[in-house]
Amino acid sequence: MQTARKPLVCVVSLQVQTSFQAVPLGAACVVSSIRSDPSLGPRVETRLFDFSLEDDALAGRDPERAGAEIAKKISALAPDVVGFSVYVWNRRVLERAAEELKRLAPSVATFAGGPEVTADPGSFAVGKPFDHVVVGEGETAALALVTALTTGAAIPEAVANRRRSAPEDCRALSSPWLDGTLSDSPSVRDGRGALWELARGCPFRCAYCYESKGDKKVREFPLERLERELEYFVKSGIERVFVLDPTYNATRDRALTLLSLIEKKAGDIHFNFEARAERLDRDMARAFARIPCSLQIGLQSTNEEALRLVARPTNLKEFSRKIALLNDEGVVFGLDLMYGLPGDSLSTFRASLDYAINLYPNNLEIFRLAVLPGTDLRDRAAELGLSFAKAPPYLVESTPKFSSQDLGRAADLARACDVFYTQGRAVSWFLAALRPLKLKPSQFFQDFSGFLRDPSAAKIAPALRSPTECEISQRDAERLQLAFIEKKYREKGKAFLWPVARDAIALNGAWTRALAEGETTTLELSYGPDDLFGPDAADFEYFAENACMERCRATVRPGPEGPEIDIR
């Protein structure tokens, strides 16, 4: 006797790229909720589809063709219900996928959820291309919807009326890590990255963020679950964990407890945190320093008017003091900046960039403002005079103080900073190299932006020929750094400092490659590595006058406790 086929439920995730962070956690939480339900779980077969725009079948395709490819793969399984996890970066592709899926399998029921749906459910036409939308956190609502769709019961009222579902009780949710839901994700299967959710909700009200209208009460996952997930990460060989909390250190004692747990259980895994500088203290900085980790800290702007208009007041003196704690303890950190904020201008953005660089961040992430639906800023956009794209990713196009031309200039500055400073890993020597030129960082990056447009730059780093934002190798970034610094020193009559700058750039580059990529580099230096890594090298002119030239060959290689240098 043939066994009746179970209804097939597919939940689809689409990432921008294949990376450590490309883990379909939101979709997996919905799958986990369905599988763990004692009533529905045994009655249906549930599949998680994890796509990336870098997949062979999707790479280089426009949204129409990429969506059609996704629909073709899903429809081949003859699903009964398909859910889509919709974000700002994948909306167009997944809408096309749902349209094509409906053409290939007219009887399939479709629904969509995720941040893009929750932010603006009214922008999704009823039944086109999704039959239903789930607004808010999706585990309970999606479970109720799938139950109705597979049993013929009435659609849940909250879904039918597009009403935001109540915040989930984090203590009652199943873990997609512990129940095996995520074991087939490519990034996880390769032993690469994990997204780790410790809590939901945010106590802050930054006007540009989805959380501006979200739950202000922070709901924490139980420590017992988090400890078991840590043990899973270690057992699975996960290399890097990205902590999803909007503000990891919102609660000091819990943050310290979890750092202690990480140190005890997972001291070989690298962790990425998002933190608020204002809530750092010496004990916390030392706790971060005891584990392999990096922090990303939102500064956004130093313009008081802009910060006030987006409900993110910042005491810059206090901010600097707290960042100094991280530098004192040797904690790796980066800063976020945003241009195009209401009240901001090109000149104030440049001032923010100068302030940020002088705090010695390891990286700077610089973004154009996105006027996201469902945020307080979107509601006040007309009042604030914000012109922005009405389609994803909703980037600002002009403001009363930031013209479209100036936004383009800010984008050039952001790209120049990314290539030279962040991708070039220039933190250890950048300000020392800049001092003899008597240039502010923003002016230096403006000059470098012009250099990047020169055909000679593309010969040094061919990836720069790409018309879109691109990543280049550290070695290519270093070649650009050397060419540009030599050019600027000669223009400013500082050619006598070039051997110092060349050695500092090359030695630090070799050191970072040994540390990050495990590469070995042999260098011909004019000065000894000990001197170049010494305190006097923070002042190139003083160093050139007082250090002894000693030509040597230095080999920088990875070692068991960090890079090692052999000198001949």
Per-residue pLDDT band at 561 (split at 50, 70, 90): confident
Residue with tokens 């800049």: 434
β-bridge partners, 529:
none
CA distance 344 to 23: 35
Residue 190 tokens, joined:
């390769």
Q: Do the beta carbons of residue 543 and residue 500 sit within 8 Å?
A: yes
CA distance 386 to 233: 44
Q: Do the beta carbons of residue 341 and residue 368 sit within 8 Å?
A: no
Residue 526 tokens, joined:
């004019």
Summarised one tens digit per residue, pLDDT across range 106-158 is 999 999 999 999 999 999 988 889 999 999 999 999 999 999 999 999 999 99
Question: Could you tell me which residues come within 8 angstroms of residue 96 by beta carbon, excluding any fewer than 6 positions away?
Answer: 63, 64, 66, 67, 68, 71, 129
Question: Could you tell me which residues come within 8 angstroms of residue 459 by beta carbon, excluding any fewer than 6 positions away?
Answer: none
Residue type, 36: S
Question: Could you tell me which residues come within 8 angstroms of residue 56 by beta carbon, excluding any fewer than 6 positions away?
Answer: none
**Cα angle at 123 between 122 and 125, to 5 degrees?**
85
Mean pLDDT of the chain: 93
Burial label, 72 (beta-carbon count in 10 A; 0-12, 13-18, 19+): middle
What is the torsion angle, in degrees rounded to the nearest 10, for the CA atoms of residue 119, residue 122, residue 126 and residue 130?
-20
3-state secondary structure of 66: helix
Q: Do the beta carbons of residue 12 and residue 74 sit within 8 Å?
A: yes
Residue 413 tokens, joined:
């500055």
Q: Do the beta carbons of residue 271 and residue 292 sit within 8 Å?
A: yes
List the beta strands (DSSP E) in 421-549.
521-525
Nearest to 486 by CA among 501, 474, 473: 501
* 191-368 belongs to CATH 3.80.30.20: yes
CA distance 141 to 33: 10
Summarised one tens digit per residue, pLDDT across range 325-355 is 999 999 999 999 999 999 999 999 999 999 9
Per-residue pLDDT band at 465 (split at 50, 70, 90): confident
Distance of CA 115 to the CA centre of its chain: 16
Residue type, 6: K
Q: How far is CA 65 from CA 57, 104, 234, 462, in A?
A: 10, 15, 39, 28
CA distance 421 to 418: 6
Pairing of β 521-525 and β 552-557:
antiparallel
Residue 136 tokens, joined:
């808010």
- Asked if residue 182 has pLDDT above 60, the reply is yes
Q: Do the beta carbons of residue 203 and residue 278 sit within 8 Å?
A: no
- Asked if residue 417 has pLDDT above 80, the reply is yes
| DSSP per-residue letters across 102-136 | HHH-TT-EEEEESHHHHH-GGGS-TTSS-SEE--S
Residue 426, by phi and psi: left (phi above 0), alpha (psi -120 to 50) or beta?
Answer: alpha
Summarised one tens digit per residue, pLDDT across range 67-95 is 999 999 999 999 999 999 999 989 999 99
Q: How many other C-beta atoms are found inside a 10 Å radius of the C-beta of residue 125?
A: 9
Q: Average of pLDDT values for 238-254?
A: 92
Residue type, 109: A
Percent of the chain with pLDDT over 90: 84
Q: What is the pLDDT of residue 491?
A: 96
Q: What is the pLDDT of residue 337?
A: 98
- Asked if residue 1 has pLDDT above 60, the reply is no
Sign of CA dihedral 335, 338, 341, 345: positive
Write phi, then psi, for 400 (nearest 5 degrees). Answer: -55, -25
Q: Which has the minimum average pLDDT: 190-194, 382-386, 435-439, 500-504?
A: 190-194
Q: What is the pLDDT of residue 183?
A: 82
Length of the chain: 568
Q: Average of pLDDT values for 372-395?
A: 94
3-state secondary structure of 451: helix
Indicate the domain borders of the chain: 8-170, 191-368, 495-567
Q: What is the pLDDT of residue 462?
A: 86
Q: What is the pLDDT of residue 217?
A: 83
CA distance 290 to 317: 26
Q: Considering the entire predicted model, what is its pTM?
A: 0.92
Q: How far is CA 251 from CA 202, 226, 228, 317, 336, in A?
A: 11, 16, 21, 22, 21
Which one-letter DSSP state was computed for residue 562?
B
Q: Do the beta carbons of residue 451 and residue 457 sit within 8 Å?
A: yes
Q: For 8-170, CATH number?
A: 3.40.50.2300
Pairing of β 332-339 and β 293-300:
parallel
Domains 8-170 and 191-368 share a fold: no
CA distance 163 to 134: 8
Q: What is the pLDDT of residue 467?
A: 55
**Cα angle at 133 between 376 and 209, to 5 degrees?**
20
